[in-house]
Amino acid sequence: MALFDVYDVSRSKVSQVDVRDEIFAAPIKKHLFHDVVRMQMANRRSGTASTKGRSDVSGGGKKPWRQKGTGRARSGSSRSPVWRGGGIVFGPVPHSYAYAVPKKVRKLALCSALSLKRKENKVLIVDKLELPEIKTTLLVKMLEQLGVHSVLIVEQENSNLEKSARNVPHVKVVRPEGLNVYDVLLHENLLITQSCLESIQGRLTV
């Protein structure tokens, strides 16, 4: 176990909290980052590119001309791929690019990413994050007080915070169950509320 300082939104230390070494002091295995981020990117692909083959294109039911005697190359359909307006040969069809890596690998990769951020002193624990209303300028001011710019915020359901962060570049808000390797690595800093820290540790030690 190790101790993290807990701050308020004015960056004043208010307490300390225990964190598990297997989550925030795990061996940093960068090859797992590649495996898991590649999976996440593949799962986000829409896979909706589509073309029509010769059997899908309308028309072409009649043989354009008789087989022999015209002096032209034989042809059976005007929807042939060699004709203008014909079908596409081996074109893309809708399909899923999604695949999965083992749950244990995903968990180890996330622990490695969290440990990397801690090693770089980029993890900040706050007691709570409260916004009285949906206002982007209030959030920006809060982040300036905390001294962070590019930041992934981990917070429980908080409509005011989530909606205020939508238009702020390099800022994203996720809930504990949505914490993932790609977002942790993409943002320079990691801002976690104390209640979410307990949820993350519970999720990753099961």
64 and 110 fall within a common domain: no
Select from 35, 66, 95 the last residue of a domain.
95
* Distances from the Cα of 183 to the Cα of 38, 83, 105, angstroms: 13, 48, 17
CA distance 7 to 142: 13
- The SS3 assignment for 7 reads strand
36 and 62 fall within a common domain: no
137 and 167 fall within a common domain: yes
CA distance 41 to 82: 36
CA distance 30 to 109: 8
Which two tokens mark 16?
């300390």
The domain total for the chain is 2
Domain membership of residue 157 as a residue range: 2-45+97-204
82 and 157 fall within a common domain: no
Which residue from 121, 122, 126 is spatially nearest to 156, judged by alpha carbons?
Answer: 126
- Tell me the pLDDT of the chain (206 aa) as tens digits: 778 889 998 889 999 988 888 999 999 999 999 999 999 999 999 999 999 999 899 988 889 999 999 999 999 999 999 999 999 999 999 999 999 999 999 999 999 999 999 999 999 999 988 889 999 999 999 999 999 989 999 999 889 999 999 999 999 999 999 999 999 999 999 999 998 998 998 888 86
Q: What is the pLDDT of residue 135?
A: 93
82 and 167 fall within a common domain: no
